[in-house]
């Protein structure tokens, strides 16, 4: 059984890293030993799991199914081991995390660094992409998601509120005027974030009053940094989270507009697959993030 699990771990590492060499380095094995482990798994099953070419590896149909099940099995083994250890055990092992790009480059890097200083036996594998990954199928332990609508099949732990504000540069406002009501945006060049579900319709609230307004403009994109840069350069009005624009607002590069109106706030969540036993490495990282982001977000100070 131990050999089967060892082969399974090596196979999953090869798929996750994309090569035998990278998997060998990750696991501390020789490349030859890594190849032998995978060959032994294929021989044991009597099927080919990987297509091997000189340029890349790819999963066969059977290999894709085996990979998904292997990730689940290894997760269950880890859970069982975690449940059997004492509460004084230290987190260890590889922790695969998916998180949104802009938030992570601005705010998550420091948190991960502090966590690893506290728990040096954990190896963090951080994947920064804005799409919603399938945690189980893609082998992630947890993900950070900024949303008010989390997949009900996942467990979500709130970390921090996320406010969204409208802003523009002084140059743009001097030229085109300051919108006093969301409906005034009909006459403005609005820089739209294409990953938002309401990219062409911005929704605001003021106390109990709600307003939806169709917006248009000559720039849209799936990266908030690019849109913010365009707004700073005087191109138009941007609607972005305060964690993106707080420094630009504090330096005066951007100015808030429609200050009495804001969209419904979102939430920064740590999400993970529903498991009976959460691995210690995962639980410790989530608990750390709750502590790290506790209280009013620092990016909302003065905004």
19-75 pLDDT, tens digit each:
888 888 888 888 889 888 888 988 888 899 988 876 778 888 888 888 888 888 887
* SS3 label, residue 130: coil
pTM attached to this predicted model? 0.69
- For range 174-183, the mean pLDDT: 95
Check pLDDT > 70 for residue 275.
no
Check pLDDT > 60 for residue 136.
yes
CA distance 212 to 272: 33
Residue 298 has which token pair? 């620092």
Among candidates 23, 125, 11, 21, which has minimal Cα distance to 60? 11
Q: What percent of the chain has pLDDT over 90?
A: 51
For residues 106 and 243, is the Cβ–Cβ distance under 8 A?
A: yes
Check pLDDT > 90 for residue 99.
yes
> What pLDDT score was predicted for residue 82?
64
pLDDT band of 277, cuts 50, 70, 90: low
For residues 211 and 264, is the Cβ–Cβ distance under 8 A?
A: no
The length of the chain in residues reads 303
Please enumerate in sequence order all residues whose Cβ is within 8 A of that of 48, keeping only pairs 6 or more positions apart, or say none: 42, 60, 62, 63
Check pLDDT > 90 for residue 138.
no
> What pLDDT score was predicted for residue 2?
52
Among candidates 164, 163, 155, which has minimal Cα distance to 270? 155
Check pLDDT > 80 for residue 1.
no
For the chain, the average pLDDT equals 88
> What pLDDT score was predicted for residue 303?
79
- For range 215-231, the mean pLDDT: 94
């Amino acid at each position: 059984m131990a050999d089967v699990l060892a082969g399974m771990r090596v196979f999953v590492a090869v798929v996750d890293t994309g090569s035998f060499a990278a998997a060998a380095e990750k696991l501390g094995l020789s490349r030859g030993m890594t190849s032998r482990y995978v060959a032994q798994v294929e021989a044991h099953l009597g099927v080919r799991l990987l297509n091997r070419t000189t340029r890349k590896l790819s999963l066969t149909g059977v290999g894709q199914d085996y990979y998904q099940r292997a990730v689940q099995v290894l997760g269950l083994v880890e859970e069982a081991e975690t449940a059997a250890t004492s509460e004084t055990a230290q987190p260890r092992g590889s922790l695969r995390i998916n998180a949104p790009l802009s938030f992570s480059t601005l705010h998550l890097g420091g948190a991960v660094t502090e966590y690893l200083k506290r728990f040096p036996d954990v190896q963090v594998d951080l994947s920064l992409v804005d799409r919603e990954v399938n945690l189980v199928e893609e082998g992630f332990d947890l993900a950070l998601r900024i949303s008010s609508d989390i997949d009900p099949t996942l467990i979500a732990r709130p970390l921090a509120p996320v406010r969204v504000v409208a802003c523009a540069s002084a140059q743009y406002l001097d030229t085109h005027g300051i919108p006093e009501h969301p409906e005034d945006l009909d006459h403005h060049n609005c820089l739209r974030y294409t990953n938002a579900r309401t990219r062409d319709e911005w929704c605001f609230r003021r106390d109990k009053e709600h307003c939806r307004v169709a917006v248009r403009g000559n720039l849209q994109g799936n990266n908030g940094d690019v849109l913010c840069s365009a707004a700073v350069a005087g191109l138009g009005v941007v609607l972005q989270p305060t964690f993106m624009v707080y420094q630009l607002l504090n330096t005066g590069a951007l100015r808030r507009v429609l200050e009495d109106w804001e969209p419904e706030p979102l939430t920064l969540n740590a999400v993970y697959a529903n498991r009976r036993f959460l691995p210690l490495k995962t639980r410790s990282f989530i608990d750390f993030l709750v502590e790290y982001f506790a209280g009013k977000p620092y990016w909302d100070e003065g905004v």
